Amino acid sequence: MGYARKNLICLDDTPYYHVISRCVRRAWLCGFDEYTQRDYSHRKGWVLERLERLTSVFAIDACAYAVMSNHYHLVLHVDRHRPQGWSDQEVVDRWSRLFRMPLAVQRWRQGEASEAEIEAAKQFVSRWRARLIDISWFMRCMNEYLARRANAEDECTGRFWQGRFNSQALLDEAGLLTAMAYVDLNPVRAGMVATPEEAEFTSIYARIKAIHATTKTKNIKTRRLKLLPFRDQAKPNAPALPLRFRDYLELLDWSGRRVRQDKPGAIDPRAPPILERLGIDADVWGLAMRVRGNVFGRAMGRLDKLRLHARALGQARIRGLTQARQLFPA
Q: What pLDDT, on the 0 to 100 scale, is given for residue 170?
A: 95
Q: What pLDDT, on the 0 to 100 scale, is given for residue 215?
A: 43
Task: Spell out the per-residue pLDDT of the chain, length 330, in tens.
Answer: 455 555 668 888 899 999 999 988 666 667 677 777 778 888 889 999 999 999 999 999 999 999 998 899 999 999 999 999 999 999 999 999 999 999 999 999 999 999 999 999 999 999 999 999 999 999 999 999 999 998 898 888 888 888 889 999 999 999 999 999 999 999 988 888 888 888 889 999 999 988 876 445 455 444 578 999 999 898 888 899 999 999 999 999 888 887 765 544 455 667 788 888 888 888 888 878 876 666 677 888 888 888 888 888 777 778 888 888 888 886
20 and 72 Cβ atoms separated by less than 8 Å: yes
In the chain, which residues fall in CATH 3.30.70.1290? 12-80+133-327
Interatomic CA distance for residues 240 and 267, integer angstroms: 32
As a dihedral over the C-alpha atoms of residue 235, residue 19, residue 203, residue 14, rounded to 10 degrees, the angle is 20
5 and 136 Cβ atoms separated by less than 8 Å: yes
- pTM score, whole prediction: 0.88
Handedness of CA 234, 96, 20, 222 (dihedral sign): negative
Helix axes 203-212, 173-184, angle to 10 degrees: 90
As beta bridge partners, residue 23 has 161
Decide: residue 71, CB within 10 A, 0-12 exposed, 13-18 middle, 19+ buried.
middle
DSSP 62: E
Q: What pLDDT, on the 0 to 100 scale, is given for residue 220?
A: 44
- Residue 325's H or E segment, with its range, is helix 321-327
Residues in Cβ contact with 149 at an 8 Å cutoff, skipping those fewer than 6 apart: 46
Number of Cα atoms under 13 Å in the Cβ half of residue 286: 18
221 and 251 Cβ atoms separated by less than 8 Å: no
Q: What pLDDT, on the 0 to 100 scale, is given for residue 324?
A: 84
CATH tag, 12-80+133-327: 3.30.70.1290
Q: What pLDDT, on the 0 to 100 scale, is given for residue 8?
A: 67
Residues in Cβ contact with 285 at an 8 Å cutoff, skipping those fewer than 6 apart: 178, 255, 275, 327
